[in-house]
Structures are given as C-alpha cells and as structure tokens.
C-alpha cells in the first residue's frame, strides 16, 4: 500500500499499516518530511488522559464533542467528531508509546477545560511529534521516499485503486502499483489559485502554512470522482504576525495576553474562537490588533522568546512607555481595568472566564497581529473508516484519506489542538483500514 504525504497523518497511517502487517511505501514530495504538522505550536487535544487526572481536571467525551461542534457552528459531521473525542486519549497514549512527551496541559480557545497536551515546559508540539514519528517510522523500517510527488491516482476498470504515478525529482515518472492508497497530503492554505476560487475574500491574506500545503490531495481525488465536503471553508487565524507568515500561537492568549486595537482598547473576549476573533480584528481600524503581555508570560512560555529574537516584539519598561512606543494611547487605562478584573476573577468588559496573569511585571511587550489563512477545513469526503467517498457517497475501493486533506470533522471552524488530534486518530484509522484492505486482496 501507498501513503501520500509525510506529515503527521501520513506517518501515523504508515506506521499503523506497517504494524498491521502491510508492505508500505510513504511518498513525500518535499525534500523533507513534516508538512504543516511540524509547524504546530499549541498542542493536541485529548479528553480523559492521565495528564488531566494528575492536574485534577474534570473533562468528558461529551464536553469535547460539544466544544468541537459549537466551535464548528454545528456544521461538523457528528460521527467523525464522536470518534475524535472517544479516541483522543488513546491517540496521546499511542504517541507516548512511540516516544513522545505530552505532559504539559493548557486550555485552547473554544475549549471549556485544559485539554491541549504538549511537551513539558510548553515546547512546540509539531516538531516534537514529527521527530517522534520520523524515528518510529525508521525503527519500524517504513520505506519513506522523499522528493517524490504523486501526480495521479490510477484506477482499475472496476474503479478500485490500482496505484499511483509518482514524479521523482531525480528519477522521473513511474507508475507504482498498490492495492490501497492513503491520501495524507494536507490542506490547500498555500495554493493561491484554490483560495481565490473557493474563498475569494481571503485571496490577498498571508498564510501561516508550510509551502507544501498546496491542495494536491483534493485535486488528485477530484480527478477520479471523489466527493468534497465543505471545500470552501477556510479558517483565518487571528494572530499571525502582521506582514509576516509567523503564527503567534493561541497559547499566548491562553496563558494570559490581552488583545487590543490600535488605540489600546480591548474589543473581544480573547479566548473566543478563531473565526470570531478574526472577524472582530477585521472590524478594527487598519484591520490589525496588538497582543499585550508582561514578563510573567515570557517567563512561563519559552516560545515567546523566539518572537523576540525575530524582532517582532515592542518593549517598554512601563505600560505607559509601551503605549508611547506603539501609539496605543488608551493602553494604560485598559491594563489597569484588566488588572482589576483579573484580581476580582470577573471580566466585566468581555466576560473572559480565564485570566491566569495580570499585567504588572516589567518589561511589558506588544506584538502586532492580523488574521491570515491557517487551516482549510474542507476537503475530500470520508466516512468513519477513512474511506474516500465518491459523488454518490459510495466508498472508493482502496482509497483512504486522513488529516487536513479531508473535510467534515471541523465544520465551519476548527478548534486549536483538534487538527493534530485528527491526524493521529484518523491517520491511524486510515492506516489500519488501508492495510486490512491491501492484505485481504492478497
């Protein structure tokens, strides 16, 4: 069997398939593995883990389900969401069994409790998971071929999968036969043409995505008659460094930053979902905002130092100095008010219900942010076994898909931490079912 794309979904599929006894080749078009997965900063969502138990966090599969559905404005495929919620703890356990450390917990936008898992010390989750998966694949002798772009899926006369056409950068075109193919090619956040076609209002936005996210899987599947779900639903992340492609992680708001407009006034509950936060920023003057925080947050979250090294942070020894440097005249009053809400545990202005830090410890920092393309929720239509569906909603024999290339799971808006969970849960399902299909054909 063949897996197309070596991000988290592809690696999870290939490793699971190999463990199920299939002969697997994992093709990756880039000269490196990791795709968007290796950029993931925040974490992976899971409910009912030992990590939550240790911290005394009460959580339920029903709550995870409800949060994901609410975040997706109830446009999600409920059956896929149910599986994601039920299998999420096992996904974390599986990654740990492969060598990952996911001991740290935080709360992401749209989640009612802390269920976003990441490495101890709050390090970025993506590079860690991708490293773990690369190593696990190597240890299990998964055949990974880099510089190998799949350009066509070939079908038999009965429409079952016959194999793929691969364009090797150094080896030219070859047809490779396979009984099952798993599409794990990621989203289309870096394909300007597809964005302009499916979501014209976003065509001039920056993108946080890796250059690899060009929607190949959607095009490959469409060409052979696959159905698409929610294909025009694209998520703008509210906090991409203005005029850059650098994502300022949701964690920064999650652990305590406030978000203000160019005058220094708050305008929304910072922990709201990404779509609502993005819409709110676009309604502000000049369509950008600032995240403001202090030294307490920097000490708590190592990743923020990276933004400093990149020269993205404005810094002041007092909040008044920061206000002067950035031109946010109302910032001192906003900070004073926020500190009062934080001390009282009640945000009278916007109802933010988690305010872990106040703004009192110098130096004070601000980073300019604006919405940018972050996730393509829509994609190839799949059923709960990761079978790709055709236009009649029938399974396409031998064709499976997982991860950001698929549509349906996240509905209108994906919650932070649910994409990596998706790649692990459905990557494994796709790998196991593709292996089963291939082995049954023998």
| Interface positions with ligand FAD (CB under 6 A) | 4-10, 27-30, 34-37, 39-44, 125-126, 149-150, 184-186, 208-209, 212-213, 216, 247, 375, 403-405, 416-420, 423
Cα gap 221→261, rounded to integer Å: 43
Task: Compute CA 358 distance to the chain's CA centroid, rounded to the nearest angstrom.
Answer: 28
Tokens read off for 107: 């709360």
From the CB of 247, what's the least distance to ligand FAD, in Å? 4
From the CB of 213, what's the least distance to ligand FAD, in Å? 5
Cα gap 168→30, rounded to integer Å: 10
From the CB of 85, what's the least distance to ligand FAD, in Å? 14
Q: Which is nearer to ligand FAD, 6 or 85 (CB)?
A: 6
Q: Which is nearer to ligand FAD, 374 or 437 (CB)?
A: 374
What residues have CB less than 8 Å from 424, skipping those under 6 apart? 8, 12, 44, 91, 94, 95
Helices (H), 141-198: 192-198
Pair 263, 429: CB distance under 8 Å: no
Residues with a catalytic annotation lie at 274
What is the dihedral sign for C-alpha 251, 254, 255, 256? positive
Pair 281, 369: CB distance under 8 Å: yes
Q: Which is nearer to ligand FAD, 397 or 423 (CB)?
A: 423
Q: Which is nearer to ligand FAD, 359 or 373 (CB)?
A: 373
Q: Which is nearer to ligand FAD, 150 or 234 (CB)?
A: 150
Phi, psi of 280, rounded to the nearest 5 degrees? -65, -40
Q: Which is nearer to ligand FAD, 118 or 352 (CB)?
A: 118
Nearest to 250 by CA among 359, 143, 138, 122: 122
Tokens read off for 386: 């990761």
Nearest to 93 by CA among 104, 105, 102: 102
From the CB of 256, what's the least distance to ligand FAD, in Å? 18
Q: Which is nearer to ligand FAD, 64 or 341 (CB)?
A: 64
Nearest to 389 by CA among 404, 372, 406: 406
Cα gap 241→263, rounded to integer Å: 18
From the CB of 305, what's the least distance to ligand FAD, in Å? 17
Helix (H) or strand (E) holding 395, with range, is strand 395-401
Pair 20, 435: CB distance under 8 Å: yes
CB count within 10 Å of CB 351 equals: 11
């Amino acid at each position: 069997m063949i897996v197309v794309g070596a991000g988290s979904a592809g690696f999870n599929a290939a490793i699971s398939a190999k463990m199920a006894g299939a002969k697997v080749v994992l093709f990756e078009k880039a000269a490196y593995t990791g795709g968007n997965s290796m950029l993931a900063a925040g974490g992976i969502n899971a409910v009912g883990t030992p990590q939550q138990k240790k911290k005394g966090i009460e959580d339920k599969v029903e709550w995870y389900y409800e949060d994901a559905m609410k975040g997706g404005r109830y446009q999600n495929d409920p059956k896929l969401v149910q599986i994601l919620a039920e299998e999420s703890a096992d996904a974390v356990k599986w990654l740990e069994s492969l060598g990952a450390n996911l001991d740290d917990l935080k709360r992401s936008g749209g989640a009612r409790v802390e269920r976003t898992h990441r490495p101890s010390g709050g390090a970025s989750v993506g590079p860690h998971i991708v490293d773990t998966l690369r190593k696990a694949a190597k240890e299990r002798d998964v055949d990974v071929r880099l510089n190998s772009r799949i350009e066509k899926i070939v079908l038999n006369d009965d429409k079952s999968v016959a194999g793929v056409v691969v364009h090797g950068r150094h080896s030219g075109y070859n047809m490779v036969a396979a009984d099952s193919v798993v599409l794990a090619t990621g989203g289309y956040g870096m394909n300007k043409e597809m964005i302009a076609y499916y979501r014209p209002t976003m065509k001039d936005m920056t993108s946080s995505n890796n250059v690899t996210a060009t929607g190949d899987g959607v095009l490959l599947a469409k060409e052979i008659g696959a159905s698409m779900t929610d294909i025009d639903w694209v998520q703008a992340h509210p906090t991409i460094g203005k005029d850059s492609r650098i994502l300022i992680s949701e964690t920064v708001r999650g652990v305590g930053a406030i978000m203000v407009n160019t005058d220094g006034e708050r305008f929304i509950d910072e922990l709201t979902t990404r779509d609502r936060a993005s819409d709110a920023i676009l309604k502000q003057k000049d369509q950008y905002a600032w995240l403001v925080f202090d030294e307490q947050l920097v000490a708590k979250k190592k990743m923020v130092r990276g933004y400093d090294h990149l020269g993205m942070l404005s810094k002041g020894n007092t909040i008044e100095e920061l206000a002067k440097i950035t031109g946010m005249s109302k910032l001192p009053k906003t900070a004073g008010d926020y500190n009062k809400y934080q001390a009282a545990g009640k945000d009278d202005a916007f109802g933010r219900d988690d305010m872990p830090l106040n703004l009192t410890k110098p130096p004070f920092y601000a980073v300019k942010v604006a919405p940018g393309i972050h996730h393509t929720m829509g994609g190839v239509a799949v059923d709960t076994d990761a079978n790709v569906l055709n236009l009649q909603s029938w399974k396409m024999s031998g064709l499976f898909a997982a991860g950001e290339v698929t549509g349906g799971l996240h509905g209108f808006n994906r919650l932070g931490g649910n994409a990596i969970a998706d790649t692990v849960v459905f990557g494994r399902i796709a790998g196991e079912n593709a292996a089963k299909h291939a082995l049954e054909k023998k």
